[in-house]
Structure 1
Amino acid sequence: MYLKNITLRGFKSFKDKSQLFFEPGISVIVGPNGSGKSNIADAISWVLGEQSPKTLRGNSMADVIFRSKNEEMGIAEVSLLFDNSNKLFDTEFRDVKFTRRVYSKGASEYFINSSPCRLLDIQELTADSGIGKGLHIIINQGQINEIALLKPIERKAVIEEVLGISKHKNRRDKSLAKLEKVKNDIERIDDLMDEIKRTMDPLEIEAKRAQKYSEIYNLLKNEEISLFIAHLNYLNREWESENDSYEKNKNESEKVESKIPYMENEKNELLKLTGEEKFNYESWREKINRFNIERNNLANIITLTRSKQNVFKTLKNMFNMDLNRYIGKKDESKKLAEDKNFEDDYTVSLLKKASGKLEEIVNNLLKFLDNTKEKVGDIRTAKYIEGEINLIIDKVKKLSTMIGKRKQPGDAKSLEEESEDKKNISDLEGKMDKIKNLEKICIINLERAKKICSMLEKYLSVSENIKRKLYREFEKKNSLVLENQKKIENLENEIGKLNQYKMKLESDLYKGDIKKEQIKEKVEVITENIVDNYNESIEYVLKSYEPSSNIRQSEVKVKRLKNEIKNYGNVNPNAAIEYQKIKKRFDFLADQKSDLIGSKKSLEELIKDINNRIADYFYNKFDEIKKCFRSYFKILFPLGEGEMQLEKSNGGGYDEIGVDLNADIGNNKFVSLSLLSGGEKSLVSMAFLFSIYSINSSPFYVFDEVDAALDDVNIDRFLTLIKNFSEKQQIILITHQKRTMEIADTIYGVTMQPEGVSKIISEKIGKMNAEVN
């Protein structure tokens, strides 16, 4: 693996993009002072993770960005391209490019093959390749003399860094820091455990008391909840019973309620029908009443007619008596005439009365006929009655006419007779004839009265027939009305009973609602007690608990447990929880302490193991480095001798060991390095560094003017060492020496432009020689 390319843009004096292409072997960078050639070594160090501005010969990281009087860049970027064909970097890429970019505002970015990454990613990738930070692969200007004057412990640190021991020491230092932190944590945990212990001991006593209280409370809870469930089951059974009764009464009430309108409708239909029948009944009763009135009138007429018949009979008898008396007493004509006048007057008055009664009978019969026509529904019956009554009326009218005719002539004749009797009282025969005529009239009227009476009796018989027919209809209507009224009364009684039954059912429903509300309230009280007292949902309670089998025993047990809880007084219910929490915290700390003690032991063992491995590795490598130092020192100082040895302090361990250098440059004596000249110091430092490089080499090395203090002889010796070393490693030299330029495979020239911008000029020496040859 080797460095193929360096690309600079905006870094220090390299304003524009500049590239340097390297090949394996020796590359030399030359240029006048101030041209910016050392900036190339700073750029390589910067990309590989250098964070110190002083190491980069600046005051801040912003000083690496190009800045001139006329122009200032906002970004500095450097890329290193490595050939990774031997897979020294643990990646599949054949070429690996590291890029670092910094902005004037202070932000910094890293890239691996143009992919953003962290500095740690670059350091991890280069850690085992020998090109990481601190491996002294870049020796800057003036640093070569400082290495010779390092203290033994510092010189040992350089060896450790180049050998890669420093990363193990860093690991050990981290482990030591962790060990110190673990010790501090153990002390802190001990303090915390002591503090917790003071709180935990009294809380443990309280927790045991609370535990006993909790056990009794749980017994009470189980028993009381079981009792609650038993009560709840009883109330549920009552609820179901009441609900069944309620539903039964409700259904019955609905049936009754639906039945009442039906019966009301039936009653209303009967009332309507009965009203019509009653109207007919009243109509028939009115007809019967009128018929009875007329019948009574007819009976009265018959009675009157019979009395008149008796009157005519009496008159007839009287006329017979008078006639017999006149015959016997002809001599008493005057008296007889007077008697005759008296009797004649009396007879006339009777006839007048009879004629008036007959007219009255005719009028009554006409009225009766009119009423009968109106009220008799049967047409045939009405016609029959009308025919009979008309016969009676005709006969009565004829009788009345005969009486009227008899009365008028009689009156006239009576006057004549009276006048004649006054003139001739002795004319008895004439009077007797008159009496006979009167007797005949009486007999005729008597016969007529009999006929009228017979006709009236027939009429009465007809009336009776009519009455019987009317009464049958009347009784039929009456029985129908009575039957309907009885049905109505029965329906009203049934409706009344149904209404009473309905009221009873509604009362039972109301009582059922009240009872259900009471049950509901009891259930709510029980449920609230369960939820409030024990903070358990009713669903969980019903699912997880069984009802009490003996309610009385449960009530006694609940009472006893409540008294026991009361005797406990004030109890911290959270004592057990707090104790468990603190105990958990205490146990956690104890476990943490145990873990920390285990970690402490592990760290101590790890540190011991690291120290042992570091010491073993260092001692093994030191012997090799010691031999190489002696060999390289002999190359640089052919007449001298160099020794490298460990310097141990009294009682000190590995970390107190230093590395001391003894140099005899050819004077047959070992002298202090501080007494050597600058060139001699540089050669001793190079012998020291190259002895380490030979044990743990890197792919490339950069030396910035390390040959500045060497004369021509020492330069030849130095270049001999470089040539031997460049066979396996890539060497980049920054120099002013011409002799050094001669061994270069590639030469880059760096010049400074008037604007303060560095410019690179490259030349491949091998190709030129080939062309010349």
Structure 2
Amino acid sequence: MRLKTLEINGFKSFAQKILLEFDNGIVCVVGPNGSGKSNVVEAVRYVLGEQSIKSMRGKTGSDLIFKGSKNLAGGSRASVTIYFDNTDKVFKLSNDGGKGNEYINLNYDTISITRQVFGDGRNIYILNGTEVRLKDIHNLLASVNIGSSGHHIISQGEADRILNANIKERREMVEDALGLKVYQYKIKESERKLERTEENMKEVGLLRRENAPHLNFLKKQVEKFEKVKEMQTELATLYREYLKKESIYLDTEKENLLLERNKIWSELKEVDNKISLTEDNSSVKGDKKIEELKIVEQKLNSLRTLKSELERKLGRTEGMIEAKQNRVKIGGICPTCGKELGEIDREQLEKKENDEKELSELKNSQISLVTEIQKITAEEAQMLKAAEALKQEINQAMENLRDLEKEKFKFKVRHQELSSGLELVIIKEGNLYSRKEVFENEVKEGVALIGQEVLSYKNFEIVKNENTQEDLKRKIERIKIKLEDAGMGSGTEIVKEFKEVSERDAFLAKEMEDLTKSIESLKKLIADLKEKVDIEFKEGIKKINVEFQEFFRRGKCNTFCCCRK
């Protein structure tokens, strides 16, 4: 390896391009003061990667650019190119994974290194026509034992600096001469990477800590949503069973009432015909009793209808009371952890008072309904006794009448019984119609709460018939109230967000694991490089001492020592 040519353009005092060729082993540059002799040396130092502008008698990068003269304008950039003879192929460039040198072929007879500086202080480095990094230049020069310590370039006033160098500076020069600087570059680069990796690890850890509370919150929300889904599934099952049973009951009851109505009408016509044949006014007294019996039975039917309605209302009220009691019970408990709340804000306090007030009103309504049902039951018993008494009186009257009158009276009694039966059928049909409207509304409500899945009740198969309709209704009402309290809606967005945050946390955890492995790997690499530097430094010192002994040929002259002191 030999220096061949130095090309300078716009660097310091060299306004125009100049080419210096080094054909001989020793070359001297002579000239008067201010002619640029030192600038030639500084150009060499500059192109080899010198970073200290002060050592090149400047303050900023723009000070290295030609400023102009009376005859020449100032330049916008400075460029220095150095050419080395590489016929022996001693230049080597290690590929550390950087994209800048992946495709550089060093199988050249001549190696050219160019460095350019611009007015804004920006520098670029070019190796055989390809732009590279400063790091690549350092690696390349270290392969031929040329570094930035300056032992190979002695500028003005630097002889004393080299002679008066301390132990550390002398060691750096020796390492530079031994070609160990490339390892120092790698150690520094590894230490920088280690520092960046540790900073990245801290940032990842901070992101995970920031993400943890939100992740826990979303996890609880998803668990709550899963419970809501379970309640919705249970509600759908209860709805299908309830609606299936209700539809079967409505269809069956409709058919039974139609048959009963037709049967009563048919018999009623026959009785009317018989009464018309045996018409007689001798049974006025019996007719009066029959009319009384008719009135009593009408009242009795009305009482039964009212009682049935009150019992259904009582059942719904009891279901609402049970649900409201559960709501009041959990009013002062945290829905997340299940512990009692220390302080309750005004809104929660008002809500609790409203729930307790509504519960009190429901209990009062329950007591009122129970009292009313008991009253109606007692009145019904009295009406039954009165009806029974009237029947006995009618029977007694029938026995006292002549055979014809008895027969006529019998037909009229039967006619009254059939009329009462017909009225009862009409009342049942009205109740059935009302119940059917309620059924249709419940189907619509189920579709609104759960979706079209409710409509599959038509194909639902009842395996066990353990629950009554009232039990099913109470369970449905309780779950509906719980769903209303949960207020989760569809919950799709929460599940989606939980999935995204979980994936991000898993990604950060993987990043932490990878960064930990990288830190361990970098620490091991740094330790191996330092060990390699120490070994090669000691071997190099031994070789230098041997060379000095051969050079002076006078006793022992151990000029260098590998001591770290």
What TM-score results when the alignment is normalised by the length of structure 2?
0.50
Q: Which has the higher contact order (CA 8 A, sep 6+)?
A: 1
| Larger strand percent | 1
